[in-house]
A and B are shown apart, each in its own frame.
Chain A
Amino acid sequence: DTEVTQTPKHLVMGMTNKKSLKCEQHMGHRAMYWYKQKAKKPPELMFVYSYEKLSINESVPSRFSPECPNSSLLNLHLHALQPEDSALYLCASSTWPNQPQHFGDGTRLSIL
């Protein structure tokens, strides 16, 4: 079990659908992250939130839209995704960006 909870664990969606990935932590961490991981590749940083504000966007396409409603929750809104967006999406949190990160076990996303 991890201290970072991601839902759903699996998601299959069509290219015209709108869906959201959710991430929750109750460790009081003030930095939260989204990563994308393709098979046999390292996680790639997408977004960093610090104190509920977006601080880093790694040139991610606008079809991915992050949201941090409060210090415990992080969402990733998906719209009009492409087949190449199929991947494992990982959420993580830490006390501060250069501190050890706690990862969830991810959402396995498949785009049809």
Chain B
Amino acid sequence: LAKTTQPISMDSYEGQEVNITCSHNNIATNDYITWYQQFPSQGPRFIIQGYKTKVTNEVASLFIPADRKSSTLSLPRVSLSDTAVYYCLVAEGGGSTLGRLYFGRGTQLTVWP
């Protein structure tokens, strides 16, 4: 079971870049790393997923070093609406193998004006 460790909270100001790092020292070869965003009283929303190196979409970038023991979610130019809890998740198993999925503790990001 690949457990994850994230900072409990982070603060930022509007327009700044935010980097949230997640540690997953026991990640397995077939595991993928996924990040979700959750607002109060809503279900989590998928942000980005990666296996190695760098992945970028219209919302965020995900940086994964070669050893894959950590990953960093990068949010460019945050706004007040980015205030939410961000979860790092490592999927155990891959391909046709059914895996268990566990959320980390989450990072509460607060963006100030």
Chain A interface (Cβ within 8 Å of chain B)? Answer: 2, 4, 33, 42-45, 48, 50, 55-56, 58, 88, 90, 92, 97-98, 100-106, 108
- What would 17 more interface pairs be, CB under 8 Å, given A33-B101, A42-B103, A105-B41? A42-B87, A43-B44, A43-B103, A56-B100, A90-B43, A92-B43, A97-B101, A98-B32, A98-B91, A98-B92, A98-B93, A98-B99, A100-B49, A101-B101, A104-B43, A105-B43, A106-B43
14 A-B residue pairs with Cβ-Cβ distance under 8 Å, sorted by A, are A2-B43, A42-B106, A45-B102, A48-B98, A50-B98, A97-B91, A97-B93, A97-B98, A98-B30, A98-B91, A101-B36, A102-B46, A103-B43, A105-B43
Residue-wise interface mask of B (70-93) relative to A, using a CB-CB cutoff of 8 A (1 in contact, 0 not)? 000000000000000001000111
Please state if B43 and A45 are interface contacts (CB–CB under 8 Å): no
| Closest chain B residue to A91, Cβ basis | B43
Q: How far is the CA of A102 from the CA of B44 in the complex (A)?
A: 8
Q: How far is the CA of A104 from the CA of B42 in the complex (A)?
A: 8
Chain B interface (Cβ within 8 Å of chain A)? Answer: 30-32, 34, 36, 41-46, 49, 87, 91-94, 98-106
- Which residues of A have CB within 8 Å of B45? 103
Please state if A55 and B98 are interface contacts (CB–CB under 8 Å): yes
Q: How far is the CA of A4 from the CA of B92 in the complex (A)?
A: 23
- Which residues of A have CB within 8 Å of B92? 98
Q: How many A-B residue pairs have CB under 8 A?
A: 59
| Closest chain B residue to A4, Cβ basis | B43
| Closest chain B residue to A45, Cβ basis | B101
Q: How far is the CA of A45 from the CA of B104 in the complex (A)?
A: 12
Q: A42-B106, A50-B98 are in contact. Are A100 and B43 (CB under 8 A)?
A: no
- Which residues of B have CB within 8 Å of A88? 41
Q: Closest CB-CB distance, B70 to chain A, in whole Å?
A: 18
Q: How far is the CA of A93 from the CA of B99 in the complex (A)?
A: 14
Q: Closest CB-CB distance, B92 to chain A, in whole Å?
A: 8
